[in-house]
Amino acid sequence: PQVANQIAAGEVVERPASAVKELVENSLDAGATKVVVRITAAGKKSIVIEDDGCGMSAADAELALQRHATSKIETSEDLHLIASHGFRGEALPSIASVSRFRMQTALAGSSEGVEVRVDGGATTEVRPAAPRMGTRIEVLDLFLNTPARLNFMRTDKTEDAAIIEVFRALALANPSVAMLLELDGRKRFDFTPQDERSRVMAILGSDFSDNSIEMAIEHEGMQISGHLGLPTFHHRDSTRMLFMVNGRVIRDKQLLAAVRAGYRDVMFHDRYPVAVIRIEIDPADVDVNVHPAKREVRFRSPQAVRAGVISCIRAAIEKMGQ
């Protein structure tokens, strides 16, 4: 299982930022109202995530570190479950197999807690701990036992930038959650619970410079909404273009292309707009399991999605012109 976990880790945790993404998503899934992320040395030394979510019982905490995908696919029903919910139960065992991993958690309202320690996936130690509100996970010395991954890591500056991008996107997708990011002891973001527009402005406000427009349309059963920058506030890269599908942050080349196509008539071809696009779509019309890290999706009807995004942007541009 250690080797299987390390192989899975190669898919799920490519770099510190992907571990941050998985852990913060778990905190959000646990219903946290506050998530704190502390990073040391670009996540190479330590990644600490604290949440006030529902926590886990001792038994569940231990289970969470066992790999679901290989151990549990026994019946076609299991396969169906995996097809509908994604590669479940990969993240924690994967991360724990390539780090020194510590987790303290307690079930909400319980009078006792538990601490689980895993060192490079080799040993799992479970011991009682003080009760607490939510879960605290510490990932130390990431990739300590996978030299190839370690060598593949970029400079601290680059890895920090990737963490910031992941954090920003998750914060955008979850405006009602308080979220704090600290890099080497310095606060980088400290978001209080906000409405959607305030969170967008808190994150991209200086890019929009107050010159943004909101637009929401319905297109073939999808709800497509956007906070869109004016064409004069463009950029040379796509880092200020963010997409959420059913509340999950995704990265999709076709959506990037659709947004640029929407702006085509009003923006130079080598420039990128500031744009936050949300798509609410019937879950049956989108496959979120293309990649274990769950950043890519496959739409049943990509043409309809593209057309919807383009109409949303065209409508916004028309409104801008008025």
Residues at the interface with ligand ADP (CB under 6 A): 22, 26-27, 30, 51, 53-56, 64, 88-92, 135
Task: Decide whether 116 or 203 has the Cβ nearer to ligand ADP.
Answer: 116
CB of 85 to ligand ADP, least distance (A): 8
Residue 26 lies near Mg ion (rule: CB under 5 A): yes
Site string for Mg ion, 72-111 (x = CB under 5 A): -------------------x--------------------
Shortest approach of Mg ion to residue 89 CB, angstroms? 8
Interactions with Mg ion, residue window 264-303 (CB under 5 A) = none
Nearest in space to 144 (alpha carbons), one of 13, 25, 48: 13
Task: Count the site residues for Mg ion by CB under 5 A.
Answer: 2
CB of 16 to ligand ADP, least distance (A): 16
224 neighbors 270 (Cβ within 8 angstroms): no
**Distances in whole angstroms, Cα of residue 64 to Cα of each of 9, 90, 95, 124:** 15, 9, 12, 12
Residues 30, 55: contact at Cβ < 8 Å? yes
Q: Which partner in ligand ADP, Mg ion, none is near 56 (CB below 5 to 8 A by kind)?
A: ligand ADP
Cβ proximity to ligand ADP, 31 vs 231, nearer residue: 31
Question: CB-based burial of residue 185 (10 Å sphere; 0-12 exposed, 13-18 middle, 19+ buried)?
Answer: exposed
The entry of Mg ion, ligand ADP, none that residue 121 binds, CB within 5 to 8 Å by partner kind: none
Shortest Cβ 75–ligand ADP spacing (Å): 19
Q: Output the six-digit token pair for 63.
A: 């289970």
Rounded to the nearest 10°, the torsion over CA 95, 36, 275, 11 is 0
**What residue has token string 């057309």?**
307
Question: Which residue, 6 or 212, has its beta carbon nearer to Mg ion?
Answer: 6
Rounded-to-integer distance, Cα 187 and Cα 132, Å: 24
Q: Least distance to ligand ADP from the beta carbon of 19, Å?
A: 10
91/139 with CB nearer Mg ion: 91
96 binds, among ligand ADP, Mg ion, none (CB under 5 to 8 A by kind): none
- CA-to-CA distance for 19 and 272, rounded, in angstroms? 28
Query: In whole angstroms, how close is the CB of 219 to ligand ADP at the nearest point?
Result: 31
Cα separation values, 221 from 217, 249, 257, 277, 284, Å: 10, 20, 21, 16, 12
Question: For binding to Mg ion (CB under 5 A), which residues are involved?
Answer: 26, 91
